Structure 1
Amino acid sequence: MNDAYFKEKAACCMTEDKIERNLFDEFGVKRGLRDFNGKGVLTGLTNISKIESSKVMDGKSVPCDGKLWFRGYEINDLVNGIGDRGFEEVAYLLLMGELPDREELDAFCKELNELRRLPQNFTRDVIMKAPGQDIMNSMTKSVLTLASYDDRVSDNSVENVLRQSMSLISVFPMLAVYGYHAYNHYDLGGSMYIHRPDPNRSTAENILYMLRPDQKYTELEARVLDTALILHMEHGGGNNSTFTTRVVTSSGSDTYSVIAAALSSLKGPKHGGANIKVVRMMNDIREHVGDTADEGEIRSYLEKIVDKEAFDRSGLIYGMGHAVYSLSDPRAQIFKTFVEKLAHEKGREADYQLYSAVERLAPQIIGEKRKIYKGVSANVDFYSGFVYSMLDIPLELYTPMFAMARIVGWSAHRIEELINMDKIIRPAYKSIMKEREYVPMEQR
């Protein structure tokens, strides 16, 4: 491979494809489908979830503490009210539109358990073949391969898509955990553990059961993971991977292709991979701050991060700020209550105090050093990586953990789009290209 060739041609692309920033403003283009104040461009309607980050008072939009609803139910009420099968209960709510009664939940869990199996030799022939560190790519490969085993792959009736969706919801933990074990064995030289899921355990319990060599976990660990899955399950139709789900669904594509596209979106570091950056940043802070109990030292190092003098020199304090929320992210607030309990059980109180200090200091520093149009607060990614580390979940599975939860939201939005769509989603792009006369080869 000639690296010099690609470097040279990349320079050509940078020259020819570069568009001056002022032209976006001139033509009224909302870059990132967001206006100057960060508000998303309205592209659709949904009855699945709702986010609130501001209220109109005296005719003006005023920031408020963030709120999140699933199918009309406030997220705090759901987390506090559910039982030991919280993931399953909320998944039913998002897919069917109503909270299940005991009989409906039992039947739903029974169906999920019956669907929680992979085709014969699939683990050996697909998941273990060409394993790699990027488990999201492994999952995407597996999802697309599963389409080959479905005789009704292109049937987009709601009944069939619901079946396909529930099947993928059921097997996602297996695709992720088995993919990690294959990577850990073949690439890292570790032992291989392929534990079959237990039909008597919840989704959260089965993840820990399949992941850990001794298959053991505490009640609190399962409860915290169950909560984490719920908090990541859905977040409005405007996030990148859910919008991707809507866009690809509108083309008439099949469920497997739609979910593969959503996975490809989620794996990006600006989306589902953000919590990995938080963990790496916190490790960097521990390495460079002599006394992590000294808020003065922490503040000084955070200032260096914002000034692009430390960590990855991006100027970002990862886990701070959100495209929608300003004063607070309700998911982060819920997470924090469970994080403290888990940190106590794991003997990680000092780490918890460090996270709390960064959460408190970072918004102050960002506000002092950056011109921002809205408030900055900790988002769900800030604490989720810490939770996963306390659950002994390897870094390679952080984004796949997000996917195991968000597959429910994607499925709900796919079904809603199928029921209501009548046009393919096709936004407009303004061409600023200059027309040119064709030049024959010998004259170039």
Structure 2
Amino acid sequence: MAYTTQNIYYRFDDALSRLVIDYEASRQVSPESERLYHGAPSEPYDESLYKEHDVKRGLRNADGSGVVAGLTRICDVHGYNIVDGKLVPDEGKLTLRGYSIEDLINSSQAEGRFGYEEVAYLLITGALPNVDELADFQARLGAYRHISDGYVAQFPITTVSSSIMNVLMRAVLLLYAFDAEPDNISPEHEIDVAVSMLSRLPRIAAMAHALAIARQQGRRALIPTPDPKLSTAETILQVLRGDDNFTRGEAMLLDVMLMLHAEHGGGNNSTFACRVLSSSATDAYSAYASAIGSLKGPRHGGANSKVVHMHEDIRNHVKNWDNDDEIAAYLEKILRREAFDGSGLIYGMGHAVYTLSDPRAKICRHYAEAIADEKGLGDEFRLIESVERLAPQVMRDVRGTSKPICANIDLYTGFIYSMLGIPQTLFTPMFAVARTAGWAAHRMEELFGAHRIIRPAYNTVYDEMEYVPLSQR
């Protein structure tokens, strides 16, 4: 196996360890700090205030549909119809630049080729590439895989974190320093940055994991030399496992996951965050870092790890995985905050747009079943299927809601990643790596199409106060 001479070894610096906040010491609350720690408003606003001021909480209408904030030619996430002013559930459909996600995935899989690069090209340019255009795009991605000596010298220091998503944010911002024109927002430069992100982030994410494991074990992290001919999926597995320790079938399955996560409309939180920053005409690196920061949250991209922990909890507490009544009873406990993490949520169920079905979940279920049987994990797969089948009715019974509830993509992604040998710390980073294509497309649409800074308004709900001098308080 070939390894770069830039093999990385990192020791904790004592000075860095002294920067860690000692929360136990800082939270010794004195009378003077009582209001500082316990006086900040933390109670939620009364729901009646939102109705009184006609505020679209979370930029959502009363019927749950999103407030329309812009126009796009990039993606359509369809889950319902509006008929006579009412939301009518419908089968889920995801189209990228007008092409269905099923067709994009099925076509590349049928031809035995990797498809993520084709999807990325489609999202960024608005058109499917021909043979020569795709080959040129793949070659450009391959050429960018190498990371400069200067960057590699600084990158290990930025990996001191418990979260690889945090590492990715800093890694993107560090790339700003290695760009000769980082604040250039011309179309040509935006394409260069997008290609750089699409090429380097998969490797950087995998490297961050390798560095963290090596640091824990007190050894060197050996990073394979980048192969410009590898696809994005193969590049990730090469760093995680080495040149010869993964099969083409595994790489093809990871490629499917990357395609499924590449784009999901402008209204999702991370893409909207990217568009908000882009609307101010800030640099690309700042916009992409903000999107990663949003995706890190457990209400967004971080949900896939929660699903994995929930599945483990269900396996440990449900004795008979074939007994629907026992599974439903435990799901009810989860909803009533009597089991699992006390959140009252069945992770992987329900979606802001999809009502009857999530097309991504259906595709994931298909591939998850095939690989589960190959790896002897069919029972685990069928338990997840049972959760998908039983949870909607349990949720309706417990919450008294009548709206349709379907599984979302997160119900199966963690299971698939686990079967591919991808560690949980990389579940959400894989999401970020894939979604970079969509973020790039939306950033450029916002920069060159909208031409107006995003600035919504908030209604003020406090009384005017008279200033009291410090000595009189």
TM-score (norm 2): 0.90
**Paired residues of 2:392 and 2:406 also in contact (CA < 8 A):** yes
Aligned-residue offset at 1:290: 1.4
Summarize the Cα distance change of 1:373–1:187 in structure 2 as closer, same or farther, 3 Å threshold.
farther
| Residue in 2 that maps onto 1:274 | 303
Counterpart in the other structure of 1:211: 240
- What amino acid maps onto 1:425 in structure 2? I
- Distance, in Å, in 1 between the alignment partners of 2:56 and 2:37 is 27
Per the alignment, residue 9 of structure 1 pairs with: 36
Q: Does 1:192 align with 2:216?
A: no
* Letter of the 2:182 counterpart: V
Specify the code of the residue in structure 2 equivalent to 1:161. Answer: E
* Structure 2 residue 110 is matched with structure 1 residue 81: no
In structure 2, C-alpha distance between the alignment counterparts of 1:48 and 1:377, rounded to whole Å: 25
What is the CA distance between 1:4 and its match in structure 2? 3.5
Structure 1 unmatched ranges of 5 or more: none
CA 1:99 to 1:302, structure 2 compared with 1: closer, same or farther past 3 Å?
same
- Which residue does 1:348 correspond to in 2? 377
**In the alignment, does 2:79 pair up with 1:53?**
yes
Partners of 1:197 and 1:257 in 2: how far apart?
Answer: 26
> 1:254-273 maps to which residues of 2 (within 5 A)?
254-273=283-302
The residue matched to 2:40 in structure 1 has which SS?
A: helix
Counterparts of 1:257-336 in structure 2 under 5 Å? 257-336=286-365
SS of alignment partner, residue 325 of structure 1: coil
Letter in 2 for 1:14: P
Residue 426 (structure 1) aligned to one of 455, 460, 465? 455
Contact 1:128–1:182 (8 Å) recurs in 2: no
1:54-102 Cα distance to aligned partner (Å, 9 max, x none) = 2356775421110010000011111111241200011110011111111
Specify whether residues 12 and 207 from structure 1 end up closer, same or farther in structure 2 by C-alpha distance, changes over 3 A only.
Answer: same
SS in structure 1 of the partner of residue 95 of structure 2: strand
Q: Secondary structure at the match of 2:282?
A: coil
Q: Structure 1 residues 49-58 or 384-393, which shifts more? A: 49-58
The code of the aligned residue for 2:26 comes to: N
Cα distance in structure 1, aligned partners of 2:85 and 2:296? 39
Query: How well do the aligned residues superpose, as a CA RMSD in angstroms?
Result: 1.7
Q: TM-score, normalised by structure 1?
A: 0.96
Structure 2 stretches lacking a partner, 5+ long: 1-24
Please name the residue that 2:96 is paired with: 70
CA 124–180 in structure 1, closer or farther in 2 if over 3 Å, else same: farther
Deviation at 1:418, TM superposition (A): 1.0
* Contact 2:123–2:441, Cα closer than 8 Å, also in 1: yes
User: Are the aligned partners of 1:53 and 1:324 in contact in 2 as well (CA < 8 Å)?
Assistant: yes
Residue 63 of structure 1 contacts residue 326 of structure 1 at CA under 8 Å; is this kept in 2? Answer: yes
1:366-405 pair list within 5 angstroms: 366-372=395-401, 374-405=403-434
Using the TM superposition, name which of 159-168 and 5-14 deviates more: 5-14
Paired residues for 1:132-171 under 5 Å: 132-171=161-200
Shift of 1:190: 6.8
Q: Which moved more, 1:370-379 or 1:234-243?
A: 370-379
Counterparts of 1:443 and 1:57, CA distance in 2: 61
Q: Taking structure 1 as reference, are residues 214 and 133 closer, same or farther at Cα in structure 2, changes over 3 Å only?
A: farther
SS of residue in 1 equivalent to 2:455: coil
Give distance in 2, aligned partners of 1:297 and 1:436: 57
Taking only the aligned residue pairs, the percentage that are identical comes to 46
Letter in 1 for 2:79: S
Contact 1:65 1:328 in 2 (8 A): yes
Aligned to 1:202: 231
Tell me, yes or no, if the aligned pair for 2:151 and 2:178 is still in contact at 8 Å.
no
Query: Are 1:138 and 1:179, in contact at CA under 8 Å, matched by a contact in 2?
Result: yes
Code of the residue aligned with 1:177 in structure 2: it is A
Which amino acid letter does the alignment assign opposite residue 246 of structure 1?
R
Q: CA offset at residue 296 of structure 1?
A: 2.3
**Partner Cα distance (1:81, 1:261) in 2:** 33
CA distance in 2, matches of 1:58, 1:151: 54
1:27 and 2:53 matched: yes
SS at match of 2:199: helix
Structure 1 residue 292: Cα displacement: 2.0
Letter in 1 for 2:281: G
Provide the C-alpha distance between the structure 1 equivalents of 2:319 and 2:355, rounded to a whole number of angstroms: 31
SS in 2 for 1:112: helix
* 2: CA distance, partners of 1:130 / 1:88: 27
Q: Secondary structure at the match of 1:13?
A: coil
Offset at 1:219? 2.4
Identify the residue that residue 98 of structure 1 maps to in structure 2: 127
| Contact 2:348–2:410 under 8 Å retained in 1 | yes
Residues 296, 19 of structure 1: alpha-carbon distance in 2 compared, 3 angstrom cutoff: closer
User: For 2:200, what is the secondary structure of its paired residue?
Assistant: helix
